[in-house]
Amino acid sequence: MKKVLVVLFLSISFLGFSQKVKLKKEKVIIDDVETYNYEEEGRSITFSTLKSEEFITVLSTTYEEKNPAHYNQNNPQAYRYPAFINKEVNTVKFLKSGKELFTDMRDKEIIKAVFKANLVDENGNIDEEKLNIFINKYNNENLKLKIN
């Protein structure tokens, strides 16, 4: 019984620390607080501070990959699955430094990670040391090869 209670309390505490990110009316709202602005243009999103200082752009690109379910010889229904599936790569460009990273994270996940890393100050400045750590943590160079 004690183990069940411990697991229950730990589960509830982890849910309490989860940040909720909403993109609504050109505002990024994290935990019900307006945190950043954003502007969407086609497949590109530019994020800026509340003072309208732009700091990153996220460009979404797709590529096709073979669908393993379609080619599964053990499944007689495999033909029902499409031969190829679309995958998405986001190129995140840090505007002041010109550095970029490639990720399969969605735009909400990206801006949440930026916020969590405390990467940007209210004037849109990015600490270079934090940026390098951020890029090392989230960059996936293999995805860059998929879109070139």
pLDDT in tens, 85-101: 999 999 999 999 999 99
Provide the pLDDT confidence category of residue 5 given band limits of 50, 70 and 90. Answer: very low
Average pLDDT over residues 109-122: 94
Average pLDDT over residues 127-141: 95
Is residue 130 within 8 Å of residue 121, measured between CB atoms?
A: no
Provide the pLDDT confidence category of residue 146 given band limits of 50, 70 and 90. Answer: confident
Q: Is residue 141 part of a domain?
A: yes
Number of compact structural domains in the chain: 1
Taking Cα atoms as reference points, which of 102, 129, 131 lies closest to residue 114?
A: 131
Task: Output DSSP code: residue 120.
Answer: B
Q: How far apart are CA 130 and CA 25, in angstroms?
A: 29
Quote the domain boundaries for residue 119. 20-147
Q: How far apart are CA 72 and CA 126, in angstroms?
A: 47
The alpha carbon of residue 110 and the mean position of all alpha carbons in its chain are separated, in whole angstroms, by 3
Helix residue ranges per DSSP H, the chain: 2-17, 107-116, 128-138, 141-147
Q: Is residue 10 part of a domain?
A: no
Q: Is residue 132 part of a domain?
A: yes
Q: Is residue 85 part of a domain?
A: yes
Reported as half-sphere exposure (CB side, CA atoms, 13 A), residue 41 has a value of 4
Provide the pLDDT confidence category of residue 134 given band limits of 50, 70 and 90. Answer: very high
Q: Is residue 7 part of a domain?
A: no
Provide the pLDDT confidence category of residue 4 given band limits of 50, 70 and 90. Answer: very low
For 16-33, how does the pLDDT look when each residue is reduced to its tens digit (9 = 90+)?
456 799 888 999 999 999
Question: What pLDDT does residue 11 have?
Answer: 52
**pTM: predicted TM-score of the whole model, two decimal places:** 0.79
